[in-house]
Chain A
Amino acid sequence: MFYREAGDFKTSYVDDNQTFPIKFDRYRYYAVLFVAFAIIPFVINDYWVNAVFMPFLIYSIAAIGLNILIGYCGQVSLGTGGFMAVGAYACYKFMTGIDIWWGGELLFRLPEFNIFFSVLMGGLTTALVGVLFGLPSLRIKGFYLAVATLAAQFFLVWVFNRVSWFYNYSASGQISAPEHHIAGVAITGPNADAWAMYLFCLVFVAASAIVARNLTRGSFGRKWMAIRDMDIAAEIIGVDPLRAKLSAFAVSSFFVGISGALFFAVYLGAVEVGEAFGIQKSFLVLFMVIIGGLGSIFGSFAGAAFLVLLPVFLKNTLVGALGWPTDLAAHLEFMIVGALIIIFLIAEPHGLAQLWRVTKEKLRLWPFPH
């Protein structure tokens, strides 16, 4: 009824290019932003933030990052966990003050970075590392590239385990985030409030989504998609495959690095690399991207929501509502989630984003048949 393009005339290309060309979508988007920024922070408690919102927000950033690489540029990566670890450790080093050594002597120590810039530096460092591990993509494609990035995953985790410089020589080999403030409000550390952590992550999520959308609708996005759809034709129309692929790796790793930094500094607080950023993390984010929908920013959110919320929801229904024992519920949860993924992918191989698109196309006509 009200979900219409009819009568909503676009008189400039800027209008025609906007992210939400349909008025209803646009208002829905503003409404979501308003609720997320102005209402949720006042009503949430620790449980909601830790069990639902923070993992959802942080994994959304990781999924957006991986989606740029796989969904937009067509380069399969299994190194997401490793890249998240790079973001986490870079953030840790920057927020504790990097110590530079030369010949066994401490040359100098950088001042401690503000948590905001530490997270950003985590992203930038990961972008550099991502470009480095993206270099093989110029020669190898598809499954073979996936195997090459798998090497990155194991190598990076190994490095962070072995080189004590990365965890500031702590005896446990763990890194733990010291308390950092923004405008006097604790963001990290044990005294941080739920709403502060939530808002901090939300700012990064909103910025990431907007930047990702802008990049994918401009010339960079078209270069990436051209490489994804037909690399030979892309080269013929003037796309330099080297720069296109490496820029995709850089942008993708930047987002993944930021999510890793947030995951460590804000969400977990203390991290052991093999446990937090192992291969299972790579697969988890990959599943989010596939289930959510390749090549769609909305899909990244949908996939993250699906895989984060479903287990929470199941646990609450099985244990809370039905009163089953916790261990039984925990095992059943795996089976149900697994089965749902399979059923879902058979029913809609293009992911939640495709379901959403189909719904919107139908809505545009509803209630008329044509």
Chain B
Amino acid sequence: MNQMSTEGYTTADGRKIGGVMMEMKNITLRFGGVKAITDISFDIREGEIRAIIGPNGAGKSSMLNVISGFYVPQEGEVWFRGAKRPPMKPYQVAQQGIARTFQNIALFEGMSVLDNVMTGRLTHMKSGMLEQAIWKGKAEREEVENREVVEKIIDFLEIQAIRKTPVARLPYGLKKRVELARALAAEPKLLLLDEPMAGMNVEEKEDMSRFILDVNDEFGTTIALIEHDMGVVMDLSDRVVVMDYGKKIGDGTPDEVRSNQAVIDAYLGVAHD
């Protein structure tokens, strides 16, 4: 059964959300005897900011890894843009237009900021080895075209000044921003953010929140994010999935989730008497 619905909904702040972009159907993921994810279904709609929250070890990152093709679930189906996705390697998922950032920064430390962001364009660069060896015609043209795209993103994220700095020299907050730039450079249809604000101070969190909203607003990118800061999650996201011990315990708008008893129990604990 294809549940691809065409009608969307309108958010509280008046943004139009489209049909279903990605749908997870009854996903179960096991590592040996451990069930990381148990029978979870949810969808992500076009243009939406979708949050996945839950206590530590709830299986949020595993879920993101399923979406980005890193883990192949034992059961369940992943539907992307109206088609069932066959088991894929992560690089094939990237070529479909899904980009992500990591909980622990995964930048290429030996390269400059510019080169790191340029790697985000690799799926768009098609010139062959011989053309690049002589560096004329298509190779050079392609480099310049992609550089223009990258420069726009560098402007957008306000990292012009560190363009040529080796990534290893940057402080943590900037590294997070460069990683976002690298993911954005791919011009993804779906952007996965794994704890984009972990370890940041309030100011950096505000900056990052602004960037996430702007990305969604200006590029129309659909975003799925994992975050622990409840204030941020409730402010940013249109709909929230709540996970606990690998199970889905809540799904809905931030307000619905906030008043959901199962969610309150998971976060605050329940009295066993």
Contact = CB atoms under 8 A, between A and B. Distances in A.
Interface of A: 12-14, 17, 211, 214-215, 217-220, 222-223, 225-226, 228-230, 232-241, 247, 251, 295
Given A219-B125, A229-B111, A230-B108, A237 B119 contact: yes
A237 B90 CA distance: 8
Nearest to A235: B90
Given A13-B143, A237-B119, A239-B91, A230 B106 contact: yes
B139 interface: yes
B122 interface: yes
Task: Give the 6 A-B residue pairs with the shortest CB-CB distance, closest first.
Answer: A238-B94, A229-B108, A233-B106, A238-B123, A214-B135, A219-B125
B144 A228 contact: no
25 contacts: A13-B144, A17-B143, A17-B147, A214-B132, A215-B129, A218-B135, A218-B139, A218-B143, A219-B143, A222-B118, A222-B122, A228-B108, A228-B110, A229-B108, A230-B107, A233-B106, A233-B108, A234-B119, A235-B91, A235-B94, A236-B68, A237-B122, A238-B123, A239-B91, A247-B129
Interface in B95-109: 95, 99-100, 102, 106-109
Contacts of A12: 144
A178 B240 CA distance: 76
Contacts of A247: 129
Contact of A225 (B91, B110, B129, B142): B110
Contacts of A230: 106-109
A13 B119 contact: no
A357 B253 CA distance: 54
Given A217-B135, A220-B129, A240-B91, 14 more contacts: A13-B144, A14-B144, A214-B139, A219-B142, A219-B143, A222-B115, A226-B119, A229-B110, A230-B108, A235-B90, A235-B91, A238-B94, A238-B123, A238-B186
B134 interface: yes
Contact of A233 (B107, B110, B132): B107
Contact of B102 (A222, A226, A233, A238): A233
Interface in B108-147: 108-111, 115, 118-123, 125, 127, 129, 132-135, 139-140, 142-144, 147
A225 B108 contact: yes
Contact of B186 (A215, A237, A241): A237
A222 B109 CA distance: 12
B94 A226 contact: no
B108 A214 contact: no
Please indicate which of the listed interface residues A217, A229, A238 has the most CB atoms of chain B within 10 Å of its own CB. A238
